[in-house]
Amino acid sequence: MYLHLGQDTVVTTDKIIGIFDIDRCTISKKTRDYLTAAEKEKRVINVSYELPKSFVVCENEGGVLVYISQISAKTLYSRFTSLN
């Protein structure tokens, strides 16, 4: 199954590692450091032209990709659970 993350971006649900609320998670310095490192390694894909509300970590060949989305983590999680 596929999960729509925003704009024209979909990912397969079996590749999703986690769906995170960007406001709640970026309070932690470890999460901010993780996102900064992923961005420096060019593993972040911004699929939002609006204020980001969530990020989704997915398996990828050779590591992980982090998708930044304008869709809330709650909505993405609801879609995800309805597919599985």
Tell me the per-residue pLDDT of 31-44, one tens digit each, with 9 for 90 and over. 999 999 999 999 99
Distance separating alpha carbons of residues 55 and 76, to the nearest angstrom? 10
Run of H or E including 58: strand 54-60
pTM here is 0.93
Contact at 8 Å (CB) between 24 and 31?
A: no
User: Tell me, what's the pLDDT at 48?
Assistant: 85
